């Protein structure tokens, strides 16, 4: 573990109605120990306002959107803008999740524009990067990370870069029950930190919170968080159940 404040984030993906989000928070919040860490909850768009209302006033528990468009408004059917998120008190946003990249075909350019918009509007982006199994097996992991980082940070200056949170999520570990080994995660996180140091400076690299995501569970959280390069986690499946996510948040 480092001296960077850890972030434990829940990505609910396309799960939970408003009522289900409320029930989750009713049982999760009373037991959630936030000392020395921050907690982020990313519900679907329809439950954002209710989640925000229930978390309001809690310093260390934030609500995040799972995605957004980069434009402020316009003819973009089905999209949600940064201004709409800010309007309901949402200040965090996940950008470039592998499901957005691979299922919905989001390009590097699109993700880069979203990053610029997030920073411009003062939203904290959680930028997701990570390689597929095919890319890892072909020995391209670092090339993939380099390209994802270079394009996402392309429009971002030093000040903006300081606000970004990064999640390393190897695609082959997401929802598969396969967790990257501590060695694999550390190696990727170290690469990301080194890239940040070359692109920006040592301060940004040293203070950057780099989360790990991919089959994080109550059974592996302590081991992951014991790694010096892992500054938190982004949890999908195991964040849907309040008891399971509580065990993850209250690790150690
Ligand atoms: P998982 O998902 O924990 O279900 O593997 C992680 C993610 O996609 O953020």
Name the token pair of 192: 């990301």
The protein residue with its alpha carbon nearest to ligand 1, atom 2, reads: 236
pLDDT in tens, 124-177: 999 999 999 999 999 999 999 999 999 999 999 999 999 999 999 999 998 888
- The residue extents of the domains of the chain are 7-74+81-243
Residue from 7, 10, 11, 212 to probe ligand 1 pocket by mutation (most atoms less than 8 Å from CB): 11
What are the tokens at 233? 């986690």
Extended beta strands in the chain, E state: 7-11, 38-42, 61-65, 92-95, 124-129, 165-168, 210-213, 232-235
* Closest ligand 1 atom, residue 173 Cα: 5
Average pLDDT for residues 107-136, to the nearest whole number? 97
| Beta carbons within 8 Å of 164's beta carbon, 6+ residues apart | 115, 119, 124, 125, 127, 153, 156, 208
Q: What is the DSSP code (8-state) at residue 4?
A: S
Digit-coded pLDDT (tens) for 176-230: 888 888 889 999 999 999 999 999 999 999 999 999 999 999 999 999 999 999 9
63 has a pLDDT exceeding 60: yes
29-42 tens-digit pLDDT: 999 999 999 999 99
Residue 196 Cα to ligand 1 middle (Å): 24
Task: Give me the CATH topology for the region 7-74+81-243.
Answer: TIM Barrel (3.20.20)
Tokens of 185: 């995660």
Q: Active-site residues: which are they? A: 97, 169
CA atoms within 13 A on the CB side of 37: 21
Binding site membership of 40 for ligand 1 (Cβ less than 6 Å):
no
């Amino acid at each position: 573990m480092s001296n960077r404040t850890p972030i434990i984030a829940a990505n609910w993906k396309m799960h939970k109605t408003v009522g289900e989000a409320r029930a989750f928070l009713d049982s999760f919040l009373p037991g959630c120990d936030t000392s020395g860490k921050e907690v982020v909850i990313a519900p679907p768009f329809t439950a954002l306002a209710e989640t925000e209302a229930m978390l309001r006033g809690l310093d260390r528990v934030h609500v995040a959107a799972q995605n957004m468009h980069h434009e402020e408004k316009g003819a973009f059917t089905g999209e949600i803008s940064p201004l709409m998120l800010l309007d309901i008190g949402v200040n965090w946003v996940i950008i470039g999740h592998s499901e957005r990249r691979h299922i919905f075909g989001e390009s590097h350019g699109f993700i880069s524009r979203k990053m610029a918009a997030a920073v411009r509007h003062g939203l904290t982006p959680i930028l997701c990067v990570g390689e597929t199994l095919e890319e890892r097996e072909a020995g391209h992991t670092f090339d993939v990370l380099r390209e994802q980082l270079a394009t996402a940070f392309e429009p971002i200056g030093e000040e903006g870069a300081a606000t970004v949170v990064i999640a390393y999520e190897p695609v082959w570990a997401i929802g598969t029950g396969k967790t990257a080994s501590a060695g694999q995660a550390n190696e990727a996180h170290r690469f990301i930190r080194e890239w940040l140091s070359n692109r920006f400076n040592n301060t940004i690299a040293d203070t950057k919170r780099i989360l790990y995501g991919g089959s994080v569970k109550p059974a592996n959280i302590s081991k992951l968080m014991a790694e010096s390069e892992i500054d938190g986690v982004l949890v999908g499946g195991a964040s849907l159940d309040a008891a399971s996510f509580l065990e993850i948040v209250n690790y150690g």
